[in-house]
Amino acid sequence: MTPLGGLGEVGRNMTVYEINGKLLIVDCGVLFPEEHQPGVDLILPDISKIEDRLGDIVAVVLTHGHEDHIGAVPYLLKRRENIPLIGSKLTLALVEAKLKEHRIKPVTQVVAEDERLSRGPFDLEFVAVNHSIPDALAVMIRTAAGSVLATGDFKMDQLPLDGRITDLRAFARLGEEGVDLFMTDSTNAEVPGFTPLEKHIGPVLEQVIEKASGKVVVASFSSHVHRVQQVLDAAVQAGRRVVLLGRSMVRNMKIASDLGYLNVPEGVLVDLKKSGDIPDHRIVYMSTGSQGEPMAVLSRMMNQEHQVEIGEGDTVILASSLIPGNENSVFRIINGLMKLGANVVHKGNAKVHVSGHASAGELMYCYNIVRPKNVMPIHGEYRHLIANGKVAIETGVPQNRTIIGENGTVVDLADGVARAVGQLEIDFIYVDGKSVGRVTDDDLRDRRVLAEEGFISVVTVVEPTTAHIVSGPDIHTKGVAEEARVFDSITPKIADALETAMSEGVHDAKQLQQITRRTIGRWVGTKLRRKAMIVPVVVVV
């Protein structure tokens, strides 16, 4: 087993299983960029590690339909389009809609809980688990070398909105059979006790929407079918119509409605184009952007760049958890909306969201039910993996059988023993517009310098044979926040350095550019306390 993403981070989940030269992939998701990755749209698992073995892949199993588990599928299938995709009805419907945008027609197989099938040397059995999206599945992978139970994302909500609980009876049955390696969701492992019930959110949403005097905007993940259902029900009770905003929200909810996962009351949905005639106190906008994504609907509302305007008396509900790394973006959204006069309701001041992940008490139940021989926590930052591992050890899993890995950790399973036996170097694969994998960490470093420190160019025309400066040095700046005259004192020093170098026989343009960069770089660092990007241009005539 080798995770190519999802360990040490919340996103880009992907694990490769190998036996007898054949590969099985479980999940293939994306990670969303943080502020120190400017210009990046998405981050993919390091699928370059299996680029030369695409023909060995027997299938990709998708545990559920969230972007951090399915978002990278198009980029994998662009390398080999006929890799079979296995997943539940809703999961595959969401993937197929995504692939249609990439003009890829996939090979798919719909499965449900309690079903069992084989792909090459892998025998697969699927188990119902409860999560914040319907139709999530855990998968039992049986091979000649041993068995692995991978939970995907799950929790143990005992009163779920759709009545579909995590199948602990199946977990117990598999535990009796023998689970050699248990790979468990770690996201909430630091949280004691049990994750609150989803049904407790409905009454809070109803109360907030009922009391709102102006328009209401509810921001959530575009795949959170249960939350959208609760908003629809609360809107009906308050006598309001609902407008879905955001391309992914509209697409996903249509899929969920068509497949019977979302019950849309007659007449409650209205198109954005027709919503202008409805009074503010009679409408709810259900939008994307709960994580502060700059191009999402909620950010555009905050920047007053959307046709739905937020103002005094309006209510905005952020019905989602903070994904680690998005805190600053979300707080910026909250502050911006409040500045416009909106009442902002979020998880910090009202019970408008519960997590979709098992807390420590639920994990402990699972370990005691399954009684695995070995444990490898997955899906979470390193602190989450550590906390999950501690829960496993508390229930009796030996410490040397509890593997805290990271992306690229190669784990061998043989004779009932799992061992970390190697470490691959895993890179970030950046999607930047239509570019995939071409943007490097050095490029992002340059972008950060440009954003934070500014840009300085120095253009000089020289005649090396006479050690004469024909023109310049001309200094141009962007984002350095200094007046042009500030550079008057360094211009003659650059000219002196160049003339001295040319008189000593330096006639190469690149060497003269390096002298220019060093001269102005030292001065900018000392006088202006900046580390601006410096681009020297020396033209030799």
Instruction: Tell me whether residue 226 is annotated as binding.
Output: no
Instruction: Tell me whether residue 357 is annotated as binding.
Output: yes
Instruction: Tell me whether residue 223 is annotated as binding.
Output: yes
- At 4, is the secondary structure helix, strand, or coil? strand
**For residue 500, what are its two tokens?**
């001295």
Instruction: Tell me whether residue 36 is annotated as binding.
Output: no
Instruction: Tell me whether residue 41 is annotated as binding.
Output: yes
Per 3-state DSSP, the chain is made up of helix, strand and coil in percentages (nearest 5) of 35, 25, 40
Instruction: Tell me whether residue 200 is annotated as binding.
Output: no
Instruction: Tell me whether residue 354 is annotated as binding.
Output: yes
State which H helix or E strand residue 494 sits in.
helix 491-503
Instruction: Tell me whether residue 474 is annotated as binding.
Output: no
**Do 126 and 99 form a contact (C-beta atoms < 8 A)?**
no
**For residue 138, what are its two tokens?**
């855990």
Residues taking part in catalysis: 185, 357
**Do 41 and 441 form a contact (C-beta atoms < 8 A)?**
no
CA distance linking residue 252 with residue 105, whole number of Å: 18
> Where does residue 43 rank: exposed (0-12), middle (13-18), buried (19+ CB within 10 A)?
buried
Instruction: Tell me whether residue 147 is annotated as binding.
Output: no
Angle between helices 247-258 and 225-237 (to 10 degrees): 90
Instruction: Tell me whether residue 355 is annotated as binding.
Output: yes
The alpha carbon of residue 417 and the mean position of all alpha carbons in its chain are separated, in whole angstroms, by: 32
- At 171, is the secondary structure helix, strand, or coil? helix
Instruction: Tell me whether residue 69 is annotated as binding.
Output: yes
- At 516, is the secondary structure helix, strand, or coil? helix
Instruction: Tell me whether residue 277 is annotated as binding.
Output: no
CA distance linking residue 504 with residue 190, whole number of Å: 66
Instruction: Tell me whether residue 379 is annotated as binding.
Output: yes
CA atoms within 13 A on the CB side of 344: 22
Instruction: Tell me whether residue 52 is annotated as binding.
Output: no
CA dihedral in degrees (61, 287, 186, 76; nearest 10)?
A: 30
Angle between helices 491-503 and 509-523 (to 10 degrees): 150
What is the per-residue burial (b if ≥16 Cβ within 10 Å, else e) of 65-85? Answer: bbbbbbbbbbbbbeeeeebeb
Residues that constitute the known binding site for Ca(2+): 39, 41, 432
Residues that constitute the known binding site: 39, 41, 64, 66, 68-69, 131, 153, 222-224, 353-357, 379, 432
Residues that constitute the known binding site for Zn(2+): 64, 66, 68-69, 131, 153, 379
Residues that constitute the known binding site for substrate: 222-224, 353-357
